[in-house]
């Protein structure tokens, strides 16, 4: 990567590092690490920048100017989004602003051949924040109701009578609530984070290939969590409510998450095989 000498490009990156640490410290001070996976957003932002460290180091050298006008626009837009997140406060806007600001810095300070890296940083932040957090949050209640309704119909037609009322399932002497976590919302963010990193670090994929994989994340997360809801209902019915809680409840969450990853990897390999046969 070469040596980095003292130059003007270090100043904006120094300010960015300060803003990043300031935001993280403020969040941890006010919220800590309890009952949320929002701190993972900061970790994901750091990992994305680490993956793109080549372009970050190139921008720190100050040897060339990239697309300065576009970079300045992205930087200002990211700063506005970040400030909005600070004022309201909305942590998701802060994180999105951090991604966009980093994209703008690479776009304007790194040589022009690193433009794809800058675009990836911006798109990664947008996908993770908008698709991974904001959209699922807005849809969570409807998804939970939908999962409860679908699972009650499937279980009633295959095993035993189950009725649903809103997000609650009733079967025999038992009842179970399809909570936010069980609707697939937490899985969506985690799957998207892993998918973004996986797609960048893996072999070359065509644009349609990447779009299909990203688009599949939400339906796969919801489908696998539908399986989770039905499994927990079956465990409760046959073994009692005690076995459907605690470690068994968490274990089913891990199993369906791994199942979702395996399914996405299988689809990825299938698309490679289809594309390969097309050109053989």
pLDDT tens string 168-206: 888 888 888 776 555 555 566 666 666 666 666 555 667
Q: Is the pLDDT of residue 279 over 50?
A: no
- pTM of the predicted protein model: 0.68
Q: Is the pLDDT of residue 2 over 60?
A: no
The reported pLDDT for the residue numbered 202 is 55
Distance from C-alpha of 216 to C-alpha of 271, rounded to nearest angstrom = 13
Strands 174-177 and 168-171: antiparallel
Angle at 205 between CA 203 and CA 208, to 5 degrees: 165
Task: Please report which confidence band the pLDDT of residue 236 belongs to, taking 50, 70 and 90 as the band edges.
Answer: confident
- Torsion angle of C-alpha atoms 187, 189, 194, 195, degrees rounded to 10: 100
Lowest mean pLDDT among 154-158, 174-178, 244-248, 256-260: 244-248
Q: Packing angle between helix 10-31 and helix 91-109, nearest 10 degrees?
A: 170
Task: Please state the rounded mean pLDDT for residues 11-19.
Answer: 94
The reported pLDDT for the residue numbered 90 is 82
Residue 246 Ramachandran class (φ > 0 left, ψ -120 to 50 alpha, else beta): left
């Amino acid at each position: 990567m070469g040596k980095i000498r003292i130059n003007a490009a270090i100043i904006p990156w120094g300010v960015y590092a300060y803003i990043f640490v300031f935001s993280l410290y403020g969040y941890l001070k006010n919220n800590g690490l309890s009952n949320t996976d929002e701190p993972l957003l900061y970790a994901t932002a750091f990992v994305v920048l680490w993956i793109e460290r080549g372009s970050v180091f190139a921008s720190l050298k100050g040897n060339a100017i990239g697309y300065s006008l576009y970079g300045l626009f992205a930087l200002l837009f990211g700063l506005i989004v970040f400030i909005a997140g600070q004022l309201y406060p909305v942590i998701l806007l802060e994180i999105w602003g951090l991604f966009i600001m980093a994209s703008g810095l690479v776009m304007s300070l790194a040589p022009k051949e690193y433009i794809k890296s800058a675009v990836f940083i911006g798109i990664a932040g947008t996908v993770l924040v908008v698709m991974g957090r904001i959209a699922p949050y807005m849809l969570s209640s409807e998804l939970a109701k939908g999962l409860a309704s679908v699972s009650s119909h499937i279980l009633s037609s295959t095993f035993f009578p189950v009725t649903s009322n809103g997000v609650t399932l009733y079967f025999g002497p038992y009842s179970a609530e399809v909570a936010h976590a069980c609707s697939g919302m937490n899985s969506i963010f985690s799957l998207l984070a892993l998918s973004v990193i996986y797609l960048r670090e893996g072999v070359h994929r065509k644009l349609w290939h990447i779009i299909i994989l990203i688009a599949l994340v939400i339906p796969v997360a919801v489908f696998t969590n539908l399986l989770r809801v039905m499994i927990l209902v079956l465990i409760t019915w046959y073994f009692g409510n005690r076995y459907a809680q605690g470690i068994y409840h968490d274990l089913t969450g891990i199993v369906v998450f791994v199942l979702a990853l395996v399914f996405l990897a299988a689809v990825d390999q299938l698309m490679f095989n289809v594309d390969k046969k097309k050109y053989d």
